[in-house]
Amino acid sequence: MENIPYFKIGDTLNIPVQWTDEDTKLGVPITLDTEIKCTILTSYGVRFFPDVIIEPDQVTNAGKFVIKLASTETEKFLACKATLDIRVTINGQVKHSEDFSFYVRRSITVEH
């Protein structure tokens, strides 16, 4: 059985990420010339476009950013398997991350 992470419908999605150099394994500073986008594709064909929040101190926290999707967006998810990837563009050169899969599940706890 696959060991795939899961996320609960209606929770705020926060995924900390660090963009690293493949050779040195060190963080790559994100500059004004860098554009980072992310897409989540559900198994039922709906796409979500999370915010990408760059860590402001790129000297100390080189390459760090957060992928964030508000609970008002995640409450629109249906239970499914979803895939996420990241696209980085620098001076017209495009690089995509590997695909990351996770399950979207319903919470069993309700307000009472």
**CB–CB of 66/17 below 8 Å?**
yes
Task: Give the pLDDT band (50/70/90) at residue 1.
Answer: very low
Model's pTM, two decimal places?
0.86
**Which domains does the chain possess?**
6-105 (2.60.40.10)
11 burial (CB, 10 Å; 0-12 / 13-18 / 19+) is middle
pLDDT for res 69: 96
DSSP string, 31-90: -TTEEEEEEEEETTS-EE--EEEE-S-TTTSTTEEEEEE-HHHHTT--SEEEEEEEEEEE
Per-residue pLDDT tens digits for 49-76: 999 999 999 999 999 999 999 999 999 9
